[in-house]
Amino acid sequence: MTNNVVTLSWLLAQDLPQRQAYIFTERPSTFNHNATFINEKKYVIHDYSPNIASDSRHLKAMRACPVAGSNFPILVTRDINPLIKEHWSKWLPFFPQPDIRLFDQEDTGEKLLIVNFPFESFPAKKHAVHPDVHYKLSSKTRIPEMGAPCPRYMSRDNYTLPCMIKATQGKAKRGTFLVRTEEEARKAFDELSKHFCHAEPVITEVIENIAKCLIAQLYLFQDGKIYWLGVKCKTNMPFAKQRIGNVPTPDVNWNEQRELKELLRDVVTPVTQYLHQNGYFGFTGVEILVNGEGSYVIDVNLKISSSTNLLLIAPHMAALGFPISFVTDILTTNVKHLLEAIDQLNQQGKGRVILLADGELSVEFHHKACVVLFSRNSEDALQLRQELATKAQIVKNN
């Protein structure tokens, strides 16, 4: 580990006094009342799902812990298994040990919270970025104002098919509809009206013949400068060209990063300038579709995301000879057995498997785990995944 290794808190410490803030990446919910924090009246988010029975957003938040660094503590709402902390120390030795604390046991006092989304239950002065600014700039309605190329925006009274209909503040794919017919459009409008407080949706043209969907991750400093973290590839997009063969596209290929930065830099620059001019600083993800005609910004995420965490780890793994990485979610029955299987695979030297998150998911004691497979090439990554499934007795993997 070097003293200047780039971590979440190392970047944040360039803008905020050291030890005077906490990183807190667990998001509130509007529709899932099993969540720890609820945004019911203010800063609402479309995270509606018809099958809400539990809440696993703490697992998403856990993924930031190994790359948090030591400049600021990171808060979690559930304790992390000591075996997982040992795993991070063993297989991610280039990162300093994170200062992980339980939210309900910590007196945060007057210190700021660096959050992924505004909280209705926290006063505005607790947010590192003013929550009104954070919420406004997170809205998809702001994208046409940013000056970057984007899909043509339309209105509810004047749109053409096919089109995309989206909630202005959505989560993952929730509140996003690809519609080809008037009947599909009506159902999408009805769904959003029923579950999203009648907020006016965003309607855009569909970008067809997509060659790539890329997410540029960076840190935007308070002075307007940026630290470029890298680019993650997103797969399974509507209207995307299908890859030939059985080998999937990796989430990150570190050997392509220089080329991808050159491709996206001019698209991302007006976005960061707009965010800076409107009072935002912090981690930023710009989602961009690429086809034969150009590049188009379709989303701007103002948060520490899974892509952020992956891209902080990726250069270290590339230095070990493993530039390819795949993120996969699995169901397993025993974290101890999973970590033992990972140790065996990592000791073979064919790649490196990192467990980012694990937690009890159901009364059957299945655990939902997120692992990253780092390897020399995509074929080796697939072999690692198959061996992991066999050794760890995985119930299901995606």
Q: Give pLDDT tens digits for 144-183.
A: 999 999 999 999 999 999 999 999 998 777 889 999 999 9
Contacts of 110 (CB under 8 A, 6+ apart): none
For residues 64-74, give the mean pLDDT.
Answer: 98
DSSP letter at 141? Answer: G
Length of the chain, in residues = 398
Question: Of 115-119, 135-139, 326-330, 388-392, which gets the smallest average pLDDT?
Answer: 388-392
Share of the chain above pLDDT 70, in %: 90
Rounded to whole angstroms, how far apart are CA atoms 195 and 201?
12
Cβ-in-10-Å burial (0-12, 13-18, 19+) of 308 comes to buried
When pLDDT is cut at 50, 70 and 90, the band that residue 46 belongs to is confident
Longest dimension (CA), the chain: 60
For 303-343, what is each residue's pLDDT tens digit?
A: 999 999 999 999 999 999 999 999 998 888 788 999 999 99
Q: Residue 311 — φ and ψ, nearest 5°?
A: -75, -15
Whether a cis peptide bond, with omega within 30° of 0, leads into 248 is no
Q: Would you say residue 244 has pLDDT above 90?
A: no
pLDDT of residue 225: 99
pLDDT of residue 365: 55
Rounded to whole angstroms, how far apart are CA atoms 396 and 358?
14
pLDDT of residue 64: 98
When pLDDT is cut at 50, 70 and 90, the band that residue 55 belongs to is low
pLDDT of residue 34: 85
pLDDT of residue 1: 42
Q: Would you say residue 4 has pLDDT above 90?
A: no
For 133-147, what is each residue's pLDDT tens digit?
A: 999 999 999 999 999
When pLDDT is cut at 50, 70 and 90, the band that residue 236 belongs to is low
When pLDDT is cut at 50, 70 and 90, the band that residue 53 belongs to is low
pLDDT of residue 372: 98
For residues 235-264, give the mean pLDDT.
Answer: 79
pLDDT of residue 19: 80
Return the structure tokens found at 123: 């006063």
pLDDT of residue 190: 93
Q: Would you say residue 264 has pLDDT above 80?
A: yes
For 351-378, what is each residue's pLDDT tens digit?
A: 999 999 987 544 445 678 999 999 999 9
Rounded to whole angstroms, how far apart are CA atoms 371 and 385?
10
Vertex 16 angle, CA 14 and 19, to 5°: 110
Rounded to whole angstroms, how far apart are CA atoms 171 and 188?
16
When pLDDT is cut at 50, 70 and 90, the band that residue 246 belongs to is low
For residues 9-23, give the mean pLDDT.
Answer: 94
